[in-house]
Amino acid sequence: MIGLIDIGGTSIKFACQGEEGLVGLTSSKTPANLADFYEILTNQINKYKEEYQITGVGISSPGTVDAKTGIIGGASAIPYIHNFEIVKKLEELFELPVAIENDANCAALAEAATGAAEGKENVVFFVLGSGVGGAIIINGKIYHGSHLLGGEFGYMLEIGRASCRERV
């Protein structure tokens, strides 16, 4: 069983995924600071460890997520989660392995697996939430881009101009 965390600008959603599907769904208001953020996440994961014996945690996060370094770059509605090794810190707090990916990429993969884009190899996905984002799936895989901004439509400066932060 895997613990799941979806970090949003308004709320943080939690669940566990196992063979029987999603269980233990709950949410909490996104706190205003890092200390409270750590407390909320750690308390919920500890509950899941007791109830479901989870073996790892998957996180869906806003921002420019570098899954290799465990750092969330860029900008989001939650400024205190950016530009440090957050995955390393969460692994210490949870005492479990942690995987992280951009929230729009996670949503696009979910739609491609069981939603409106099921069975499609190439997908463009738009997210309108606390911010504007998106994802691109090519040949069934997330296109991260050369600077982890693939699909980050919210970063476009001007439509129709050749200068954009993402380079193919």
Sequential DSSP letters for the chain: -EEEEEE-SSEEEEEEEETTEEEEEEEEEPPSSHHHHHHHHHHHHHHHHHHH---EEEEEESSEEETTTTEEES--S-GGGSSSBHHHHHHHHHTS-EEEEEHHHHHHHHHHHHSTTTT-SSEEEEEESSSEEEEEEETTEE---TTS-TT-GGG-SSTT-S--S---
Per-residue pLDDT at 158 exceeds 50? no
Q: Is residue 96 part of a domain?
A: yes
For the chain, how many structural domains are there in total? 1
The residue type of 102 is N
Tell me what percent of the residues of the chain surpass a pLDDT of 70: 90
Q: Is residue 134 part of a domain?
A: no
Q: Is residue 88 part of a domain?
A: yes
Tell me, what's the pLDDT at 112? 94
Tell me, what's the pLDDT at 149? 81
Q: Is residue 117 part of a domain?
A: no
Parent domain of 68: 2-103
Pick from 94, 81, 66: nearest CA to 33 = 81
- Grade residue 154 by pLDDT with cuts at 50, 70 and 90: low
Q: Is residue 28 part of a domain?
A: yes
Per-residue pLDDT at 166 exceeds 60? no
Write the DSSP assignment of 126-156 as a string of letters: EEESSSEEEEEEETTEE---TTS-TT-GGG-
CATH classification of the domain holding 74: 3.30.420.40
Per-residue pLDDT at 71 exceeds 60? yes
Structure-model confidence comparison of residues 9 and 26, the more confident one? 26
Q: Is residue 110 part of a domain?
A: no
Q: Is residue 147 part of a domain?
A: no
The whole model's pTM is what?
A: 0.87
Q: Is residue 63 part of a domain?
A: yes
Q: What is the pLDDT of residues 22-61, one digit of tens each?
A: 999 999 999 999 999 999 999 999 999 999 999 999 999 9
Q: What is the pLDDT of residues 82-124, one digit of tens each?
A: 999 999 999 999 999 999 999 999 999 999 999 999 999 999 9
Q: What is the pLDDT of residues 121-139, one digit of tens each?
A: 999 998 887 667 899 999 9
